[in-house]
């Protein structure tokens, strides 16, 4: 088989940092993706919440084809029209007034932390440089973002960690309030913890965090790398909670499949970044920005796409709740927002993922014992019915 040969080549030449499934994926369309051996899979993982409009979305493909014929990359020593247009579009549809472009979520979060520290040192005082994050958070894999991430399993082996971060339990405003001191310059949170197990906070939590930041003169950074771009049924998840951050990081779905990250901020906070403060060779290049524009315009111009995300997400959660009722010995909880959904299991976690893979469904295990579903926003009820039927069969075998 062609896949077997390619997998052997992969083992020979590529560093072994991923637990990969034994398949080589070749092409995709919509919610479906095919292997080099011709097997079709329904993708409920969407490239780790990246392919927000599905695989090879026509408008995105056309935009990238046109841009590759004009200009693919230039240095940020020069202006480029696609970058300007994309920044304008993000500003007009968010709290922000300024944008810095990078290549990934880790880089977007790095820029957010640098910006918060520089702003706080210049405006308030040199010693105000500590960032509070939460346990089970995930902010990236660079050394600084590994340090910001509140998970020991991600930090082990990379010590000494970057100083200046401390962690409190998520969704616990009292613990957060106790942790704030004269050194605190920012609180950095995910509106919904994705890698931590799809943990949705209480309705009161983020407003209370915003109030605390206002009272203590601390910046609020929201990491919307996984929740942004319509994933939760709003363009940005902070809209569900009636709060506005000072800084926000985006990536994953931002380019619809193309690598791009962005750090958004208010005018006042962004002013701390002066010429030479921060840069990125590939950040905001014309091709990535063209993809980002096509993705965001598609979400905005399709008037019912975000509404459908909430409706289909509700149907999906109801279907999973049905499995919880049917298999209470295995399914512990179902939680989520829009089309970022988790189903917590008491056992058999990786076995369920593997069995779904064998049945042609791509899902993911996160937070040790939670199945994570983050399909494209164009997923249908029939797609969901097919997955839940397979899950029912697999869970029945475990019971």
Over the Cα atoms of the chain, what is R_g? 21
Alpha carbon distance 34, 26 (integer Å):
6
Alpha carbon distance 246, 95 (integer Å):
8
Q: Using 50, 70 and 90 to split pLDDT, how confident is the model at 124? A: confident
Question: Boundaries of CATH 3.40.640.10 in the chain?
Answer: 59-301
pLDDT at 108: 98
Longest CA–CA span in the chain (Å) reads 63
Alpha carbon distance 95, 84 (integer Å):
17
pLDDT at 304: 86
Residue 55 structure tokens: 């695989």
Q: Using 50, 70 and 90 to split pLDDT, how confident is the model at 368? A: confident
pLDDT at 302: 78
pLDDT at 80: 96
Residue 303 has pLDDT above 80, yes or no: no
pLDDT at 367: 86
Residue 82 structure tokens: 């696609």
Question: Boundaries of CATH 3.90.1150.10 in the chain?
Answer: 2-55+304-398
Bond into 160 cis (ω within 30): yes
When pLDDT is averaged across residues 63-86 and rounded to a whole number, the result is 98
Output 343-350 pairs: Cβ under 8 A, ≥24 positions apart.
Answer: 343/370, 343/371, 343/373, 344/197, 344/369, 344/370, 344/371, 345/369, 345/370, 345/371, 347/398, 348/395, 348/398
pLDDT at 373: 98
pLDDT at 127: 86
Alpha carbon distance 82, 356 (integer Å):
40
Q: Using 50, 70 and 90 to split pLDDT, how confident is the model at 358? A: very high
Residue 184 has pLDDT above 90, yes or no: yes
The secondary element (H helix, E strand) that includes residue 32 is: strand 32-35
Q: Tell me the CA distances in angstroms from 22 to 3, 6, 214, 324, 343, one per residue in order.
A: 8, 10, 50, 30, 24
Q: Using 50, 70 and 90 to split pLDDT, how confident is the model at 261? A: very high
Least-confidence region, from 1-5, 114-118, 183-187, 274-278: 1-5
When pLDDT is averaged across residues 255-278 and rounded to a whole number, the result is 97
Cβ-based burial of 282 (10 A; exposed 0-12, middle 13-18, buried ≥19): middle
Residue 267 falls in which region: left (phi positive, over 0), alpha (psi -120 to 50) or beta: alpha
Q: Using 50, 70 and 90 to split pLDDT, how confident is the model at 166? A: very high
Interval 26-44: pLDDT, tens: 999 999 999 999 999 999 9
When pLDDT is averaged across residues 256-274 and rounded to a whole number, the result is 97
CATH class belonging to 59-301: alpha beta
What is the DSSP code (8-state) at residue 255?
G
**Average of per-residue pLDDT values in the chain:** 96
pLDDT above 70: percentage of residues in the chain:
100
Q: Which residues contact 17 (CB under 8 A, 6 or more apart)?
A: none
| Domain covering 2-55+304-398, topology | 3.90.1150
């Amino acid at each position: 088989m062609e896949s077997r040969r390619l997998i052997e080549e992969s083992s020979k030449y590529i560093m072994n940092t991923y637990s990969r499934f034994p398949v080589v994926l070749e092409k995709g369309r919509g919610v479906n993706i095919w292997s080099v051996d011709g097997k079709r899979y329904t993708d409920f993982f969407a490239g780790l919440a990246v392919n927000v409009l599905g695989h090879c979305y026509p408008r995105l493909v056309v935009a990238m084809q046109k841009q590759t014929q004009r200009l693919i990359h230039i240095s940020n020593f020069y202006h480029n029209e696609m970058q300007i247009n994309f920044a304008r579009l993000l500003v007009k549809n968010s709290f922000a007034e300024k944008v810095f472009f990078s290549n990934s979520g880790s880089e977007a979060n790095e820029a957010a932390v640098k910006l918060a520290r520089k702003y706080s040192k210049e405006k308030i005082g040199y010693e105000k440089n500590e960032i509070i994050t939460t346990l089970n958070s995930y902010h990236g894999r660079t050394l600084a973002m590994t340090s910001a991430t509140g998970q020991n399993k991600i930090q082990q082996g990379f010590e000494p960690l970057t100083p200046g971060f401390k962690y409190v339990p998520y969704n616990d405003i009292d613990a957060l309030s106790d942790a704030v001191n004269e050194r605190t310059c920012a609180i950095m949170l995910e509106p919904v913890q994705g890698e931590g197990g799809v943990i949705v906070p209480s309705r009161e939590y983020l407003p209370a965090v915003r109030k605390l930041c206002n009272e203590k003169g601390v910046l609020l950074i929201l990491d919307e790398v996984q929740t942004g771009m319509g994933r939760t049924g709003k363009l940005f998840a902070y809209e569900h909670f009636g709060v506005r951050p000072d800084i926000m990081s985006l990536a994953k779905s931002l380019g619809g499949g193309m690598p791009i990250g962005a750090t958004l901020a208010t005018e006042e906070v962004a002013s701390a970044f002066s010429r030479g403060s921060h840069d990125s060779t590939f950040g905001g290049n014309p091709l990535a920005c063209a993809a980002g524009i096509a993705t965001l315009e598609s979400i905005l111009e399709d008037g019912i796409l975000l509404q459908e995300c909430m409706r289909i997400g509700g149907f999906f959660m109801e279907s999973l709740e049905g499995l919880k009722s049917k298999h209470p010995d295995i399914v512990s909880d179902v939680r989520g927002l829009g089309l970022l959904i988790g189903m917590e299991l008491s056992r058999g976690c990786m076995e369920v993922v593997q069995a779904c893979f064998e049945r042609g469904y791509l899902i993911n295990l996160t937070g040790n014992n939670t199945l994570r579903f983050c399909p494209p926003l164009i997923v249908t009820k029939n797609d969901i019915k097919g997955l839940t039927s397979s899950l029912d069969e697999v869970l029945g075998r475990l019971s």
